[in-house]
Amino acid sequence: MNKHLLVVAVLVAGVGAGSPAAAHRERPDIDSVRVWNELAVSAVRATRATDADAARLYALVDVAVYDAVNGLRSGPARRTPALIGGIGPHGADPQAAAASAAHAVLARADAPRAATYDARLVADLERLGPGASVASGAAWGERVGAAVVAARADDGSRPVETQPAGAGPGVFRAEWPGVQYRAVRPFAVADPARYVPGPPPALTSGAYARSFAEVKRLGDAAVPAPGLLATYQFWSLPAGSPQPPGEWLRIALTVAGDRRLPLAEQARLTALLTMTLADTTVPTVATKYRYRHWRPTTAIREADTDGNPATEPDPAWTARAGSVGSSPEYVSGHSSYSRAAATALAGFFCTDRIAFSHATDSAPGGTARDYPGFSAAATEAGRSRVYGGQHFPFSDRAGQRIGAGVAREVLATKLLHRSGPTHDGACPR
């Protein structure tokens, strides 16, 4: 037997007795969407995953959960699948299906921690209690999760490719691994290339000089600005954090929990969000790869080579972030991910004005910040990259446009009702 089927098979053998109806009626709510997404976030932290790898993992988990739960719904309640269609067994427990589907993904994608996922699934299914409904739900979820992993095995995310180091004015200097994501098969959008923007402003242009001056002033480590530094740090999210996609997933789980969304709606929310984030990776990486733009630190130190009389070099200038940046500058990935998430969340809830508090992994002192809505947080996240001296303002704006465009397409085309009206105004139903 496939080792990933073992835990489910053992539990199915042990929960067959008793009344399915009684077990389902008395079982506690194990909150599968929140619990298993938190495990996915922990996996990203532990493996020090890149933002691209993190976004892909979150989407795998949430697509599997959504398709497992959606496959157990009947009649008008059943929506279009995210990836794996099919109808699950009648009467199967959807919480068991959700937990088992997420387990199937994580146990395969993060094999070194498979024992942790096995133990959690055992605990979840035991809490749901004995009965055929739990057993069949677990078996169905395992099948869906395994099918999701198999369907994405050849999506282009492996093997890792590297763009060589560059040279000369305007060019990013270091090697950059992970560029295979520029051609990864999307989860939801039809053509990621349509979201790749035109080039950054020419080095000799006034637009470039204005952005140059702004980041030179706001992102200078030599100028004390505790507020700007704190904002940069709050959204910095280095390796070992959930990465920007994971922080927005955490925000979504908080808002969903506050509103006590039922399982099916939680699953739809997180699937829409994570597919949007994963697909935002593709044009973001493609843009960086195509234009290979230099970071502000290099640009400011070598401004005497850019051919622009309005830019003054400062060979000693250091970014407030303390680092140059690990990928080409144009566009800002923090900006594209954040606007993609904010747009997806506002579309799902039919309003942007949902206040929330959140503390990122890199929040100074672990202190939470309060936001009046999703857009406010996305705007701050993008501007934080300018405050850190990591990105030019034009790269923040271009990244935000990428994210908004991807999110609007996903909202308009995915996980909708199979028949009848699919939208309530601008909001996907």
pLDDT digits (tens, 9 = 90+) for 275-294: 999 999 999 999 999 999 99
Q: How many CB atoms lie within 10 A of CB 214?
A: 15
- Average pLDDT, stretch 340-354? 97
> Cβ(51)–Cβ(337) under 8 Å?
yes
Q: Where do the structural domains in the chain lie, given as residue ranges?
A: 3-151, 162-428
Chain position carrying tokens 């996609």: 245
Whether pLDDT at 14 is above 70: no
Identify the pLDDT of residue 417. 85
Could you give the CA distance from residue 238 to residue 358 in angstroms, rounded to a whole number?
17
Condensed to tens digits (0 to 9), the pLDDT of residues 221-240 reads 999 999 999 999 999 999 99
Percentage of the chain beyond pLDDT 70 is: 92
How is residue 375 written in tokens?
């857009």
| Half-sphere exposure of residue 125: CA atoms within 13 angstroms, side-chain side | 37
Could you give the CA distance from residue 114 to residue 271 in angstroms, rounded to a whole number?
23
Identify the pLDDT of residue 74. 92
Pick the CATH number of 3-151 from 1.20.144, 1.10.150, 3.30.200, 1.10.287: 1.20.144
pLDDT confidence band for 29 (50 / 70 / 90): confident
Mark out the alpha helices in 129-261 (DSSP H runs).
Answer: 132-151, 206-218, 226-234, 243-258
How is residue 274 written in tokens?
């994570």
Whether pLDDT at 166 is above 60: yes
Pick the CATH number of 162-428 from 1.10.606.20, 1.10.1760.20, 1.10.3720.10, 3.60.9.10: 1.10.606.20
**Number of residues that this document lists for the chain:** 429
